[in-house]
Amino acid sequence: MLPVATRAAGFDWKRYAGKELRFMVSVHPWTQWAQTQLPALEHDTGIKVKWEILYEDQLRQKLPLTLRSDPGSVDGFFTLPSWDAAAFSRAGWYEPLGKLIHSDLTAPDWNFVDFFPNILKIHEYDGHQIGVPITIELQALFMNNHMLRAKQLKAPTTLDELMSTAKALTDRDKDVSGIVTRGDGVQAVYTFGPFLFAFGGRWLDEKGKPELATPAAVNALKYYGELLRAAGPPNILGMQWKTTYPLFQQAHAAMFIDATNFLTYFKDPSQSRVADDVAVAVLPAGPAGEHSTVISWGPSIAASSSRKEATWIAIQYLTSKAAMAASTKATHLPPSRQSIYDSSVYTSSVPEDMIRTTKIEIPNAVPNGANPLVVPVPEVRSAIGEAIIAVLQGKNAKAAADAMQKRVVQILNG
Partner 1 sequence: MAETILTLAAPSRARTTRRRHDWTPDLLIAPALLAMIFVMGFPLLYLGYMSVHRWSLIGFSPPRFIGLANFAALAGDERFLSSLTRTLYFTALGLASNLPAGLGIALLLDQKFPTRNLLRALLILPMVATPAAMGLVWVVMLDPSLGIVRFLFGLIGIQHPPLWLSNPALVVPTLVFVDAWMWTPMVALICMAGLASLPADPFEAARVDGASAWQRFRFITFPLLTPTLVVAAMLRIMDLLKVIDIVYVMTGGGPGHLSETTNLYNYLVAMSYDKIGYGSTVALVLFALVLLCTGVLVRLRRMAAE
Q: Which residues bind partner 1 (CB under 8 A)?
A: 60-61, 64-65, 68, 87-88, 90-92, 175, 183-186, 233-240, 243, 246-247, 250, 252, 375-376, 378-379, 382, 385-386, 389-390, 392-393
C-beta closer to partner 1: residue 247 or 315: 247
Q: How far, in Å, are 95, 302, 411 from residue 47 at the CA level?
A: 19, 17, 44
Report the nearest approach of partner 1 to the CB of residue 117 (Å): 29
C-beta closer to partner 1: residue 19 or 182: 182
Instruction: Give 352-355 contacts, CB < 8 A, sequence gap 24+.
Output: 353/279, 353/280, 353/281, 354/140, 354/260, 354/263, 354/280
Report the nearest approach of partner 1 to the CB of residue 193 (Å): 19
Report the nearest approach of partner 1 to the CB of residue 64 (Å): 5
Encoded amino acid at 159, one letter: L
Neighbours of 307 (CB within 10 A): 20
Report the nearest approach of partner 1 to the CB of residue 87 (Å): 5
Report the nearest approach of partner 1 to the CB of residue 318 (Å): 27
- Give Cβ neighbours of residue 66 (< 8 Å, ≥ 6 apart): 24, 73, 74
C-beta closer to partner 1: residue 137 or 184: 184
Beta partners for 20?
Answer: 48
C-beta closer to partner 1: residue 236 or 345: 236
The answer to whether the CB of 305 falls within 8 A of the CB of 75 is yes
Report the nearest approach of partner 1 to the CB of residue 408 (Å): 13
- Give Cβ neighbours of residue 91 (< 8 Å, ≥ 6 apart): 64, 67, 68
The answer to whether the CB of 288 falls within 8 A of the CB of 166 is no
C-beta closer to partner 1: residue 349 or 382: 382
Neighbours of 211 (CB within 10 A): 17
The answer to whether the CB of 399 falls within 8 A of the CB of 206 is no
Report the nearest approach of partner 1 to the CB of residue 184 (Å): 5
Report the nearest approach of partner 1 to the CB of residue 236 (Å): 7
Report the nearest approach of partner 1 to the CB of residue 330 (Å): 29
> Using CA of residue 361, residue 397, residue 178, residue 160, what is the dihedral sign?
negative
Report the nearest approach of partner 1 to the CB of residue 401 (Å): 15
Q: 49 φ, ψ to 5°? A: -115, 130
C-beta closer to partner 1: residue 152 or 270: 270
> Using CA of residue 81, residue 85, residue 86, residue 87, what is the dihedral sign?
positive
Neighbours of 141 (CB within 10 A): 24
Report the nearest approach of partner 1 to the CB of residue 56 (Å): 12
C-beta closer to partner 1: residue 111 or 382: 382
C-beta closer to partner 1: residue 183 or 201: 183
- Give Cβ neighbours of residue 328 (< 8 Å, ≥ 6 apart): 335, 340, 345, 346, 349
**Pairwise CA distance, residues 30 & 196, whole Å:** 30
Strands 76-79 and 20-26: parallel
C-beta closer to partner 1: residue 174 or 207: 174
The answer to whether the CB of 59 falls within 8 A of the CB of 26 is yes
C-beta closer to partner 1: residue 185 or 369: 185
C-beta closer to partner 1: residue 141 or 236: 236
